[in-house]
């Protein structure tokens, strides 16, 4: 969706403010926000793609006013309510009002959590069809504006680039975010010249790549 | 210094003292954790384990060791180029947000810069949790259109003919920049070299430290 998360090329946010000797957390609640977000994700009620979509559906004015752990927290509450794990009423009451439903995966103890963090969640899958593109192919990204989740940023839509890497088939976020299955698709690194993205005023030394799933791409016929 | 005893006392507490929005979130997170615990949906020991992992075990020193090994061992560098995820796992660094890693090497002609314009994707297994600026709109919006302007805000000015390659982390592939090895480090041990490798140099917003500067 064309939400506030899709920031590439926007202007007016001011300078980047690197913080000297930045602490890992800026307040104790940020540790809790990280921990509960990861712990709840491990229950398997939603995918990482659904959680990203929960964040990007925060209305733009609000999204841009929140810190990242605030965005995570707001999205987590939405996901917990949607999947029946913690209701809004329970949040208002400040305590449980109903027993927890069965979870898809067991609640991990510390040992199990260590294994979960060390394993991560690989997203490569067996390919269901041969790759349509190869390294060096010219491709154009589609000009799409789905209302659901997508990982094709606005600045890279309808642009011509070159396939630079083929990563194999990966879970397709555009379906997986909405409970429509992993539907693995070939994933490519597509590199774009700066002026293709940003026009004549672009930095002539710039190129930018995005990782694009095959359904985002169409072939470009080579000039004869 | 203008600090009263009262202020200091206030800071001792787990309060967010200057922003009502933050206070509200802090309270909500606390309530949420207690409800989740009450319902048996989280194990407090597992929550502690998560925080401890990123406070003590998973951080940019992991990535620095990967870079130092790549600088020191040509066979390792070759494996890193071929399959960075596997080469990094050799050093024991695996897991969440490091499942699919590609190492990108700076050269005399080309500088790499990593961003996630759409959220906060970052190679946790080698760099730990991302800094606030990496997740914030100024960096996410401008890295792809004005990387030189962004680098200047980190005090980094590249030669005007250096090619800049920006990697937008739009999928589950995570990018680790291998900065150039500083001159004057012949014969250095991997441990000494790793001390020159900053977090920012592995994102692309900095360079490896100069040995003279590191000694100062």
- What residues of chain A, 129 to 158, have a C-beta less than 8 Å from chain B? 151-153, 155-156
Interface test with B, best of A13, A16, A104 (most B CBs within 10 A): A16
Active site residues of B: 116, 119-121
Fold exhibited by the domain A28-119? Cyclin A; domain 1 (1.10.472)
> In chain B, what residues touch A103 (CB-CB under 8 Å)?
41
Q: Which two tokens stand for residue A38?
A: 């990861």
Mean pLDDT of A104-120: 97
Query: Which pLDDT does position B23 carry in this prediction?
Result: 81
Q: pLDDT averaged over chain A?
A: 97
Burial grade of A99 (CB within 10 A; 0-12, 13-18, 19 or more): exposed
The answer to the question of residue B35 being in a domain is yes
On whether any CB of chain B is under 8 Å from the CB of A161, the answer is no
ipTM of predicted assembly, 2 dp: 0.97
pTM of the predicted protein model: 0.94
B62, B93 Cβ separation under 8 angstroms: yes
The answer to the question of residue B47 being in a domain is no
Specify the domain boundaries for CATH 1.10.472.20 within chain A: 28-119
Instruction: Round to whole Å and give the CA distance between B167 and B143.
Output: 9
What is the residue range of B194's domain?
A: 58-215
Mean pLDDT of A187-202: 98
Q: Which residue has the higher pLDDT, B15 or B211?
A: B211
Please indicate, yes or no, whether residues B113 and B14 belong to a single structural domain of this protein: no
Please indicate, yes or no, whether residues B18 and B84 belong to a single structural domain of this protein: no
**Banded model confidence at residue A222, pLDDT cuts 50, 70, 90:** confident
**Out of A22, A36, A208, closest to residue B144 by CB:** A208
N residues, chain B: 216
B210, B201 Cβ separation under 8 angstroms: no
> In chain A, what residues touch B162 (CB-CB under 8 Å)?
205
Query: Which pLDDT does position A224 carry in this prediction?
Result: 54
pLDDT by residue (tens digit) across B53-102?
999 999 999 999 999 999 999 999 999 999 999 999 999 999 999 999 99
The answer to the question of residue B11 being in a domain is yes
Size of interface A-B (CB pairs under 8 A): 279
The answer to the question of residue B51 being in a domain is no
On whether any CB of chain B is under 8 Å from the CB of A55, the answer is yes
pLDDT by residue (tens digit) across A58-82?
999 999 999 999 999 999 999 999 9
Second-level CATH architecture of A124-219: Roll (2.30)
Query: Which pLDDT does position B7 carry in this prediction?
Result: 38
The answer to the question of residue B50 being in a domain is no
Is pLDDT above 60 for B12? no
Query: Which pLDDT does position A144 carry in this prediction?
Result: 98
Q: Which residue has the higher pLDDT, A222 or B116?
A: B116
For A145, A180, B40, the CA distances from A148, given in Å and listed in that order, are 9, 12, 32
Is pLDDT above 50 for B16? no
Is pLDDT above 80 for A191? yes
Is A108 within 8 Å of B97 when comparing Cβ atoms? no
Please indicate, yes or no, whether residues B158 and B184 belong to a single structural domain of this protein: yes
Closest-CA residue of chain A to B172 = A123
Q: Which two tokens stand for residue B110?
A: 């080309």
On whether any CB of chain B is under 8 Å from the CB of A107, the answer is yes
CATH number (domain holding residue B129): 3.90.330.10
Q: pLDDT averaged over chain B?
A: 91
Percent of chain B predicted with pLDDT > 90: 87
Please indicate, yes or no, whether residues B185 and B127 belong to a single structural domain of this protein: yes
At A141, give phi and psi (nearest 5°): -75, 150
Query: Which pLDDT does position B22 carry in this prediction?
Result: 56
- The number of C-alpha atoms within 13 Å of B85 and in the hemisphere containing its C-beta is 15
Percent of chain A predicted with pLDDT > 90: 98
On whether any CB of chain B is under 8 Å from the CB of A109, the answer is yes
**Banded model confidence at residue B14, pLDDT cuts 50, 70, 90:** very low
pLDDT by residue (tens digit) across A126-150?
999 999 999 999 999 999 999 999 9
B195, B123 Cβ separation under 8 angstroms: no
B36, A36 Cβ separation under 8 angstroms: yes
> In chain A, what residues touch B138 (CB-CB under 8 Å)?
13-17
Mean pLDDT of A31-37: 98
Query: Which pLDDT does position B214 carry in this prediction?
Result: 78
Is pLDDT above 50 for B129? yes
DSSP assignments along A168-209, one per residue: EEE--HHHHTTTS----EEEEEEEEEHHHHH-TTS-TTEEEE
- CA neighbor of B95 nearest in space, from B49, B132, B136: B49
Please indicate, yes or no, whether residues B69 and B130 belong to a single structural domain of this protein: yes
**Out of A95, A203, A208, closest to residue B35 by CB:** A95
The answer to the question of residue B154 being in a domain is yes
A165: which strand partners? Answer: A189
CA distance B131 to chain A (A): 7
**Out of A5, A68, A119, closest to residue B118 by CB:** A5
Is pLDDT above 60 for B2? no
Specify the domain boundaries for CATH 2.30.30.50 within chain A: 124-219
Interface test with B, best of A3, A15, A29, A191 (most B CBs within 10 A): A29
- What residues of chain B, 125 to 164, have a C-beta less than 8 Å from chain A? 125, 128-129, 131-133, 135-148, 150, 153-154, 160-164
Query: Which pLDDT does position B20 carry in this prediction?
Result: 55
Interface test with A, best of B35, B58, B147, B204 (most A CBs within 10 A): B35
Give me the number of domains chain B comprises.
Answer: 2
Please indicate, yes or no, whether residues B125 and B36 belong to a single structural domain of this protein: no
CA distance A96 to chain B (A): 6
Please indicate, yes or no, whether residues B84 and B159 belong to a single structural domain of this protein: yes
The answer to the question of residue B134 being in a domain is yes
**Banded model confidence at residue B21, pLDDT cuts 50, 70, 90:** low
The answer to the question of residue B52 being in a domain is no
């Amino acid at each position: 969706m064309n939400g506030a998360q899709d920031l590439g090329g926007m202007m007016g946010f001011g300078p980047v403010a690197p913080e000297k000797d930045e602490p890992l957390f800026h307040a104790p609640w940020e540790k809790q926000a990280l921990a509960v977000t990861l712990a709840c994700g491990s229950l398997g009620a939603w995918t990482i793609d659904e959680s990203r979509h929960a964040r990007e559906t925060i209305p733009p004015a609000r999204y841009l006013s929140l810190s990242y752990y605030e965005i995570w927290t707001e999205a987590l509450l939405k996901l917990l309510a949607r999947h029946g794990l913690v209701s809004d009423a329970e949040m208002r009451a400040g305590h449980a009002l109903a027993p927890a439903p069965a979870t898809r995966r067991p609640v991990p103890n510390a040992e199990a959590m260590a294994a979960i963090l060390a394993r991560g969640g690989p997203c490569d899958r067996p390919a269901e069809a041969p790759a349509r593109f190869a390294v060096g192919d010219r491709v154009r990204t589609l000009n799409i504006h789905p209302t659901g989740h997508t990982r094709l940023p606005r600045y890279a839509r309808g642009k011509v680039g070159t396939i630079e890497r083929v990563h194999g088939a990966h879970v397709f976020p555009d379906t997986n975010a909405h409970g429509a299955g992993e539907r693995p698709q070939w994933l490519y690194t597509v590199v774009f010249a700066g002026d293709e993205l940003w026009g004549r005023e672009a930095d002539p030394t710039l190129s930018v790549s995005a990782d694009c799933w095959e359904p985002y791409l169409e072939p470009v016929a080579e000039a004869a | 210094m203008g600090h009263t005893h009262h202020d200091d006392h206030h800071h001792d507490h787990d309060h967010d003292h200057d922003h009502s929005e933050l206070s509200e979130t802090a309270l909500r997170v606390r309530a949420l954790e207690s409800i989740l615990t009450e319902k048996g949906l989280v194990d407090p020991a597992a929550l502690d384990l998560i925080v401890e992992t990123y406070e003590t075990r998973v951080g940019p020193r992991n990535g620095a060791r990967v870079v130092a090994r790549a600088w020191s061992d040509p066979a390792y560098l070759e494996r890193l180029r071929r399959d960075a995820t596997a080469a990094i796992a050799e050093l024991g660094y695996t897991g969440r947000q490091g499942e699919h890693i590609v190492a990108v090497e700076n050269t005399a002609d080309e500088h790499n810069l990593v961003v996630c314009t759409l959220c906060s994707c970052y190679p946790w297994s080698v760099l730990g949790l991302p800094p606030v600026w990496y997740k914030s709109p100024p960096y996410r919006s401008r890295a792809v259109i004005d990387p030189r302007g962004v680098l200047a805000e980190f005090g980094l000015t590249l030669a005007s003919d250096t090619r800049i390659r920006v990697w937008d982390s739009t999928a589950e592939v995570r990018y680790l920049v291998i900065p150039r090895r500083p001159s004057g480090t012949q014969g250095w041990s991997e441990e000494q070299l790793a001390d020159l490798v900053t977090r920012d140099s592995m994102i692309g917003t900095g360079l490896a430290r100069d040995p003279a500067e590191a000694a100062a």
